[in-house]
Structure 1
Amino acid sequence: MSENKFNQPLGGNEMPRFGGIATMMRLPHQPDPSGLDVGFVGVPFDVGTSNRAGARFGPRQIRTESCLIRPYNMATRAAPFDSLQVADLGDIAINTFNLQKSVA
């Protein structure tokens, strides 16, 4: 059992990288930023787009692809999850029918 008090990305041995709930880097989802040093927030927004809409799917796709990111950088030896409390805060609720209210 790990003695680490910080959230860690879920490893491939615990759950296959293609399985589980899609959160940023397979970190825990936390609806409240209390106690976090870093929080990932998605903004699924493309209300002002008149042609080629689809940016609203960006946060979901980034989370899906982030399962391939490793928690350590071997070249720089950076290990942010060993010293920072990090979680996925989910997406911001926007008004999909009113551009002005979405950005206010």
Structure 2
Amino acid sequence: MYQEKMRKIRNIPKLSAKWANIFVPFILSCLMSGIISLINLLRNIGWYDGFIDLWLKNWMISWSMAFPIVLLLLPWVRRFVGIFVDISHLKSSK
């Protein structure tokens, strides 16, 4: 019963663990680009009537660049972090 709950979220099957390498950067780049574009737009222009439309437009442009950049840089960042942090247990679990 417990394993059945683990495999589905509201009757939608969960993705396999191999998708985490794509899904985590996808969500992270979405959140980061959205927050940063919101802060930059508020600081540079301030709030006005068409703010949400302009922000969403700028966010999508930022996200379309952020996601591929994160995917490209992620292997390098993992190796760089491995210089300072013991990640051997992560490599052996694959």
TM-score range, shorter chain: 0.3 to 0.5
User: Which one scores higher on RCO, CA 8 angstroms, separation ≥ 6?
Assistant: 1
Larger Rg: 2
Q: TM-score, normalised by structure 1?
A: 0.30
Greater share of helix: 2
Q: TM-score, normalised by structure 2?
A: 0.32
